[in-house]
Chains A and B, each alone.
Chain A
Amino acid sequence: SQQGEEDPQALSIQEGENATMNCSYKTSINNLQWYRQNSGRGLVHLILIRSNEREKHSGRLRVTLDTSKKSSSLLITASRAADTASYFCATAPQGAQKLVFGQGTRLTINP
């Protein structure tokens, strides 16, 4: 079964608003990563947060990680139409050289 589960499955907001997506996972991890997928394309790596980190920023992206709750959130601030995509969390289980992906959140930014 999937390691990560994301919430919500779909999110539609107005341009300029902030978008928040959540991810939960089941086992101990080395790190958690977020990826973006534009329609018809492969996934693109956005950001990685280590298991000993609580928050990380990259441009308009802010990721938090709560290992006690086994959850993470991705915040995109000041959304743009170009942010329309599906977003996936992926966990790197301890001792494994492979990522396990969630089902993704489909984000739509309305102009």
Chain B
Amino acid sequence: DAGITQSPRHKVTETGTPVTLRCHQTENHRYMYWYRQDPGHGLRLIHYSYGVKDTDKGEVSDGYSVSRSKTEDFLLTLESATSSQTSVYFCAISEELRGREYGYTFGSGTRLTVV
């Protein structure tokens, strides 16, 4: 998708290891989001950011931390990965559609498997 990339695309890691996922945008958007997608749960918000060093928790933030030291990068860290964190992770940016309304543009996702 235009202007937003996630890395890595796939990762297998062992339980207890730290993992960092990266989201990079090229269009200077203020708002960035991390969601996880699991069967039967749809997309659930983990954390989001509304500017450099400004972040807030979503509905499933336990076990995750984020950092945003530059406008273009939003990092998601699993401090000690668990099997329950096996999921597909999506990053999104918020773009103004018209007036004060906004919609999301999503990255292609990171498939994380914790074994």
Contacts and interface: CB of A to CB of B under 8 A. Distances in A.
Interface of A: 2, 30-31, 33, 35, 40-45, 48, 50, 88, 90, 92, 97-104
Nearest to B41: A103
A9 to B, nearest CB: 9
Most buried by B among A40, A50, A102, A103: A103
B41 A48 contact: no
11 contacts: A30-B101, A42-B90, A42-B108, A45-B103, A50-B101, A88-B42, A97-B31, A97-B94, A100-B45, A101-B42, A101-B44
Majority secondary structure of chain A interface residues (helix, strand, loop or mixed): strand
A98 B109 CA distance: 18
B43 A101 contact: yes
B38 to A, nearest CB: 10
B42 A33 contact: no
B39 to A, nearest CB: 9
A90 B37 CA distance: 14
Interface string B52-68: 00000010000000000
B103 A48 contact: yes
Nearest to B58: A98
Interface in B15-52: 31, 33, 35, 40-45, 48, 50
